[in-house]
Chain A
């Protein structure tokens, strides 16, 4: 019978299985190993080691193998540290579209840590960074999402940034959004997208119970 039972407990080849990280024993040197599989395995282990965040961020900049970069990003997310969130936030300036988008995805899973960096991102001098920061808020599970978006639409001079914020508000807005959205419509009178998205938010608020 060629269907055979085999309990899958085959051990990982030792070279690919660095010892589990423990306090004070985060071997970040393996992130520079010549074998990409070892670097990837090391990144996975270092996700349990907040002290390794600077090394992981450095690896994110230097690493060229996509599966290793992916593991480094996942590890940074797993550390759950504010330092990791700050490092990932700086990736929003990257020329690398994959890195920008991947950083946003990871940051969306770190609501408490994002709270420590989002205020700066939402007033960044670069409007592209502000738009990407709104993208973080898109699915962020944090009580202040609406408040941050309302502060943004009250002050931001850029029509595209405000349009992006309205897109998210269409889903999360409460009665508190009514007046700020009305003021935004007034401020950008004549901008067709703002009119469309703003009316959508107000319409939903008016009809919502």
Chain B
């Protein structure tokens, strides 16, 4: 198991928070809360060792060319593939837009 931290430039914090997914086989749990203005921080706890580069690339590709909201994201990963991670994150981003 590994604990990883990432940081990206961001805009203003969102209003809502969201929880999506579950720490089940091949899935992950994503908790999204408002962060400090200008900063997007991501904490990942993953059951897969040696995966830091993969997470870095995945986040960089997602936020490329846009300024995401300033969020504090906690991820508890149980071996999700990058595709599943991306789906869960997008699901979470959609939910923080709702009240």
> Are A and B subunits of one complex?
no
Q: Which A residues form the contact surface with B (CB < 8 A)? A: none
Q: Which B residues form the contact surface with A (CB < 8 A)? A: none
